Chain A
Amino acid sequence: MVAPILNALHTHPDLPVEIGAMHTSAAREAVLRPYPEWAHAGLRAALVGKGILSLYSHQRVAADALHAGRDVVVATPTASGKSLCYNLPVLSRLLAERADARALYLFPTKALARDQMAQLEGLLLATGRSDLVVAVYDGDTPPATRRALRESGDLVLTNPHMLHTGILPNHTKWQGLFTALRYVVVDEVHTLSGVYGSHVANVLRRLQRICAHYGSKPVFCAASATISNPGEHARRLLERDVLVVDEDGSARGTKHYVFLNPKLVSPLSGLRLPAIEAARQLGGTLLQSDLQSIFFTRTRNTLEVLLKYLRDEAGRLNVSQDRLAGYRGGYLPELRRKIETGLRQGDIKTVVSTSALELGVDIGSLDVCVLVGYPGTVSSMFQRAGRVGRRNQESLVLFLARSFAMDQYLFGNPGYLFDQPREAVAIDPDNPIILTNHLKCSVFEVPFDRGSGFGEAPHVDEILDFLANDLRVLKREKDRYHYAAQTYPADGISLNAADMDNVVIQERDTRRVLGEVDRPGAITEVYEGAIYGHQGEQYVVEEFDYPNRRAWVKKVDADYYTDAETETEVRVMHLDAQQTFGGYTAHRGEVHVSTLAKAFKKIRFYTRENVGIGEIHLPPEEFETEACMLVIGKDLAAKVGLDKGSEAGALRGVAELIQGLVPLFVRVDPGDVRVMGELKNAHFDAPTITIYDQIPDGVGLSERIFTVHREVLQAALGVLTRCACRLGCPSCIGPSIDQGVLGKGKVAVLLGQMCQLRSTADSSVADRKNAVPGQTHSS
C-alpha cells in the first residue's frame, strides 16, 4: 500500500526533500491465546461478534492476573489492545456480580474518558445487558446526572483532577462506589510523571485510604505506553507489587521509517526549504492517494498554518475539503468526536495534529505518519509513529527535519532514536510539599490516626504535627487528627497548570464558541491583532477580554499569520543560603519569573515575508519560585574566556547538560525545572547558571539541587568526557552548531574546574537573618 509513496520519494525529481537514512521494523505474527474460562459468556460473545476471535498473549496474561486479584501494569505499544486487558476482567466481574462490584477508571484527559466510555457502551450493548451504569464523571457532567451517577454508577470514568477536587473530598456521597469498589484502572500512566505524577500518586494514596475506610480492597491495573521502567513507575505510583506485562503479542505490519531533510535552497549559506513547505508538498502527494495519513506538528500555530496550506493544496487538486481535518486540544469536544469518527470510518484521509493524538484516542490505524520535527522525546516519537500500521499491512513514518540543531542531528544520526533506551518516567510521591498538601486533604476526608500511615510515605506523623502545631489547620485529640479549618483544601492545590482557568475563543457576530486555550498560553495566542487559526481558517482577535477570559474574534481572509515574541526574565528576590567554592559560588533563594509577550510579527503565508508588526499589551505571566544559582567567579570566567562576552554558547551548553541530568537527582520531568545560562546575570553581574522550579511557589526541586549540585556537576562532567562525539551532540551539550566548534572543549574546561575546586575555608553566609542553620556548610 505504501510502496508507491516510497517509490515516489526515491524517483520523483520534484519532491522537496533529500532522503537520508531508512529503517525498517519487521512484521511480526500475532501470538494468540483463547479466551479464559472465567470470561463472562455474554461479554465473550459480544467481543467475538466484533471480530475479536481470540486474545493476544499479553491480553490473556494481564486479564488472568487481574481476574485472580493481582495488581498489574500493562506496557505495550499504541494500538496493541491495552484496554481489553482490563475491560475483560472488570466487565466480567461487574456483569456477574452486578451491584456488588463496581469499578473506577482514571484517564489523563476528558477526551480519553469519553472515548473509552463510547467503546464500553458499544460492548455492553452487544452483550444485551442494559442494567450496568457506565458514565463519565467530570467537569462536563451535567449537575442533574451527577447525583444519579454518584448513587448508581457501576463503572465511573474520570480524571485525576476530578478525583482530587470532586470525588474524594465528597466520598460520603459515593459510599456505594467505594464500598463495592473491586477494580481501579489508571490508564496512560506514562503521562503521570514529574511533579504532576507525584501529585497523582498522593491522590491515589488518598483513594486507597478511603477504600480502606469503607472496607474495600480494589485490584489496580495501570496501563502505559512503552517506557523503560513501567514496573518501577507503577510500583511508585500505586505502591503495590505489580506484575509487569510488557511482552507485546499483537500483530505488526512492516513499518518503514524514512528520514527526510528539506532541500537546500542556497547551498552556500546552508539555507533549507522550511519544513512546513516540504510538508505541504508531501501532503499534496498524499492527498491524491487513498492512504490515510497523519501529520504531527510541534505547536498549535504550525498546525493551523500547515492545515491552511493543505486546504489550499486540496483546492488546487480538486480534492474534497471533507477529507482533511485538524485536531488539537483547544477544539471543542464535539468537533473532536466528529473528527475521530471520520478517521475511524475512513472518511477523513488526512489529519494534522499536535500531541493531542499521541494518547490512546481511538482513531483506528492509519497508513502514513509525517513527523514535522522531532517531538522532544524518544517515547513521544514512537507514540506518534504508533498511530500508523494496520495489522499485516505496511506503514510508513516520515521524519521531516526542521532547521533546528536537534532535528538536524537526528537526520545525521538516526541511530540515536533506535538504539537509545526509551526515557524513564520518574515521580517523587514523598516530595515534602506535595505530600504535606495531600495529607491535609486526606485528613479532611477521614480523620487521621497517628501511626496509621499514608501509603509508604515517610514522616507522616511529623507532618501531621506540623499541620496541627505550625499551620494550625488540624486539631489533635488524643492520637487522632481532625481537620480544623474553614477551607476546602483541594481547592488550593492544583495538580498541574492545566487545571487553571481557560480562555474561551468566541466569534463576535455569531456568538459561536470556537475553542479554548489555557491561560498561560493565551498571551502568545489570542492577543489583540493575533490571527487565530481554526480548522485552517483565519480569525482575527478583535478584543481579548483578559479579566473575563474571553477572546472575541472575527473571521477574516488574511494572507498572513502572526507569531508572538516573548521574553522571560528571572529576577532574584531573596537569597537564603550560599556556599562558596574556589571558582564559583552556589546560592539558594527565591526568584520572580515573568514571561512577557511584547510584540508580534505578521508573516505572509508561503513567502514568509514579514508584512507588519504590532505591540501586545497584556500583563505578563508571572510567578515566584525557588532557585539555585551557580555564579562563576572572575578568575574562572577569565580562564575559560567567559569574560570576553562571546562564549554564551558554552554556558548554554552547561545549562543544557544540567537540564538533561536533573531527573537523575530530583525525580521530575525535565520540564519541571528550567536551567538557564546567562553570560551576565543582572543581580550578580557575573556569568550565572540559574536552575529554578518551573512551578508557582516551587516544590523544593531547586533546593534539593542546591544540596546535591556538586554531584550534578560531577555527573555532567562524566557524561561529557564519556560521550564519544567530538564537537557536541544531543546526548551531551547539544549539537555543535549551537555551541560553536570549540564549545565542547570549553564546557569541559569549565566543568572540570568547577568540580575540582573545593570550597574555600571562609565560606560565608550572606544573609544571616534568613539563612537556615545547617544548610550552609563547607563540603
Chain B
Amino acid sequence: MGDFADKLRRRFKVVPLASDLPPAESPLADRLGPSAATELLRRRMLRRMPAKTKVALPLGEDLVNARGCCFIRRVRYPLDAVHGEHALRRALGVDRQRLATLAKDATVADLDLSQCLFLDTETTGLSGGAGTVVFMCGLAWFEDDALAVEQVFLRAFEEEPAALLHVAAHVAARPQLVTFVGKSFDRHRLASRMALHRIESNIVRTPHLDLYHLARRAYKHRLSDTRLRTVEEAILGLRRDDDLPGAEAPAAWLGWIDDATGAVDRVFEHNRLDVLSLVALLGAVTAGS
C-alpha cells in the first residue's frame, strides 16, 4: 500500500495501529467523524478484549448444486414433538375456515397445510437494499409424518448463489409460504439477492400467509403488542432462555466470516426456534382468543 493508502487513512482518520490509543490531551472520540471512524474505534476496543474462542458450526453438511456449494443443517422432528406447550402436529389440524377469515383471504380455506413452506431468514441488515445479504434461511415443511427443517447457511459470500438456488427450488416445489413479517421483509430480501445473482424465482408472487397479520387480528386485544416474542410467551407458552436477540444476528455472522469468532452457533439456534414457532403459531392462531 503506497502513499495513496496513507492519505486515505489520514483522511478517514484511521488511527495508525502502532498508536492505537488516542493522545490523552486531544480525546480522539471528539474529533472522529460520526460514523466510520467511531465504528472502527469501537471494533478496535472490542478486539482488545480477551481473545474470543473460535466458534464451530453445528453438525451439518455441504450442499452442492449447479451454482456451487454452501452449508446445510438438516433436522427432522416427529409430529408429537412439543414446541412451547403444543405439539407440532396441531398445525395440520387447524380450522381452515377460521384461518381464511383471520387472513381475510377466502383462498386460504383451500390451503393444503401439508404443502406449506415455513420460512425465516437472517440478514446482514434491516434497512434493505441490494447489499443486504441473507446469510441464513430456515425452511420447514411436513413430510412423511415428520416436520423436516433445513437451515441453509453461508460460510462465505461466495456460497450465496448455491444457497439461493436451493431456496428457490423449495419455493417452487411448495408454493405456499408461511412466515412472520415475511411479506414485507424476508421475501423481498431473498428476491433482491436472487435478482442480483440472476436466479429465477417467483417468490414475491407466491401465495404467502404472513402470520404477523393473523396474530395481530387474533391477539391485539389481549396482548400489549404482537411481536413474535410476545406471542410465543403468551400463546405458545414458550420461554427462550439465553436466546441471541435477532438484532445481534448480523454482527454475529459478520464477525464469524471475519475471524470465526461471531456467535453463529447461537444464530442457528435462534433461527431454529423461529421456524418451529411459525409451525406452532399456525396451529394455535385459530384456537380462539
Whether B129 contacts A488 by the Cβ 8 Å rule is: yes
In this assembly, does A470 line the interface, its C-beta being within 8 Å of a C-beta of chain B? yes
- Of A329-337, A472-480, A558-566, the one contacting chain B is A472-480
Q: Which residues of chain A are within 8 angstroms of B2 by Cβ–Cβ distance?
A: 462
Q: Quick one: which of B5, B26, B126, B130 contacts A171, CB cutoff 8 A?
A: B130
In this assembly, does B11 line the interface, its C-beta being within 8 Å of a C-beta of chain A? yes
Q: Which residues of chain B are within 8 angstroms of A769 by Cβ–Cβ distance?
A: 19, 23
- Of B32-40, B114-122, B222-230, B263-271, the one contacting chain A is B32-40
Whether A486 contacts B196 by the Cβ 8 Å rule is: no
Closest to A492 in B: B35
Whether A446 contacts B8 by the Cβ 8 Å rule is: no
**How many angstroms from the CA of A443 to the CA of B130 in the assembled complex?**
10
In this assembly, does A532 line the interface, its C-beta being within 8 Å of a C-beta of chain B? no
- Shortest beta-carbon distance, B147 to chain A, in Å? 32
Q: Given A446-B196, A462-B4, do A471 and B131 touch, yes or no (CB 8 Å)?
A: no
- Of B55-63, B96-104, B170-178, B251-259, the one contacting chain A is B251-259
- Shortest beta-carbon distance, B6 to chain A, in Å? 7
Q: Given A446-B196, A480-B158, A486-B251, do A772 and B6 touch, yes or no (CB 8 Å)?
A: yes
Q: Which residues of chain B are within 8 angstroms of A487 by Cβ–Cβ distance?
A: 35, 125, 127
Whether A433 contacts B192 by the Cβ 8 Å rule is: no
**How many angstroms from the CA of A444 to the CA of B9 in the assembled complex?**
21
Whether A488 contacts B1 by the Cβ 8 Å rule is: no
Q: Which residues of chain B are within 8 angstroms of A490 by Cβ–Cβ distance?
A: 129
Q: Quick one: which of A171, A484, A624 contacts B257, CB cutoff 8 A?
A: A484
Q: Which residues of chain B are within 8 angstroms of A445 by Cβ–Cβ distance?
A: 130-131
Q: Which residues of chain A are within 8 angstroms of B14 by Cβ–Cβ distance?
A: 470-471
- Bitwise interface map of A from 431 to 447 toward B, beta carbon under 8 Å scored 1, else 0: 01100100000011111
Total interface residues in chain B, CB < 8 Å: 45
Whether B10 contacts A772 by the Cβ 8 Å rule is: yes
Q: Quick one: which of A173, A471, A482 contacts B40, CB cutoff 8 A?
A: A471
**How many angstroms from the CA of A295 to the CA of B5 in the assembled complex?**
51
Whether A472 contacts B131 by the Cβ 8 Å rule is: no
Name which of B12, B19, B23, B43 has the most chain A CB atoms within 10 A of its CB: B12
- Bitwise interface map of A from 482 to 504 toward B, beta carbon under 8 Å scored 1, else 0: 11111111111000000000000
Q: Given A466-B9, A471-B36, do A477 and B129 touch, yes or no (CB 8 Å)?
A: no
Q: Which residues of chain B are within 8 angstroms of A770 by Cβ–Cβ distance?
A: 23, 26
Q: Which residues of chain B are within 8 angstroms of A590 by Cβ–Cβ distance?
A: 31
Closest to A482 in B: B157
In this assembly, does A429 line the interface, its C-beta being within 8 Å of a C-beta of chain B? no
Closest to A626 in B: B11
Whether A574 contacts B31 by the Cβ 8 Å rule is: yes
Q: Which residues of chain A are within 8 angstroms of B12 by Cβ–Cβ distance?
A: 433, 436, 466, 470-471
- Shortest beta-carbon distance, B83 to chain A, in Å? 30
In this assembly, does B191 line the interface, its C-beta being within 8 Å of a C-beta of chain A? yes
Closest to A489 in B: B131
**How many angstroms from the CA of A483 to the CA of B192 in the assembled complex?**
15
Q: Which residues of chain A are within 8 angstroms of B126 by Cβ–Cβ distance?
A: 486
Q: Quick one: which of B6, B40, B127, B157 contacts A477, CB cutoff 8 A?
A: B157
Whether B127 contacts A697 by the Cβ 8 Å rule is: no
- Shortest beta-carbon distance, B189 to chain A, in Å? 10
Whether A465 contacts B3 by the Cβ 8 Å rule is: no
- Shortest beta-carbon distance, A443 to chain B, in Å? 7
Q: Quick one: which of A173, A447, A471, A484 contacts B254, CB cutoff 8 A?
A: A484
Cβ < 8 Å to B, chain A residues 178-213 = none
Name which of A482, A490, A769 has the most chain B CB atoms within 10 A of its CB: A482
**How many angstroms from the CA of A473 to the CA of B43 in the assembled complex?**
11
- Shortest beta-carbon distance, A592 to chain B, in Å? 10
**How many angstroms from the CA of A713 to the CA of B10 in the assembled complex?**
26
- Shortest beta-carbon distance, B124 to chain A, in Å? 6
Q: Given A471-B40, A483-B131, do A488 and B11 touch, yes or no (CB 8 Å)?
A: no
Whether A470 contacts B8 by the Cβ 8 Å rule is: yes
In this assembly, does B156 line the interface, its C-beta being within 8 Å of a C-beta of chain A? yes
- Bitwise interface map of A from 522 to 566 toward B, beta carbon under 8 Å scored 1, else 0: 000000000000000000000000000000000000000000000
In this assembly, does A228 line the interface, its C-beta being within 8 Å of a C-beta of chain B? no
Residues of B within 8 A of A (CB): 1-12, 14, 19, 23, 26, 31, 33-36, 40, 43, 124-131, 133, 156-158, 191-193, 195-196, 250-251, 254, 257-258
User: 15 extra interchain contacts, Cβ-Cβ under 8 A, other than A432-B11, A700-B11, A774-B3?
Assistant: A436-B12, A443-B131, A444-B130, A444-B131, A462-B4, A466-B5, A477-B157, A482-B133, A485-B254, A486-B124, A487-B35, A490-B129, A624-B31, A703-B11, A769-B19
- Between A and B, 17 residue pairs with Cβ closer than 8 Å are A170-B192, A172-B195, A175-B195, A462-B1, A466-B9, A473-B36, A478-B158, A480-B157, A483-B133, A484-B124, A484-B157, A485-B124, A486-B251, A488-B125, A489-B131, A491-B127, A492-B36
Lowest 9 A-B CB distances belong to which pairs? Answer: A444-B131, A172-B195, A488-B127, A482-B157, A483-B131, A169-B129, A172-B192, A486-B125, A486-B250
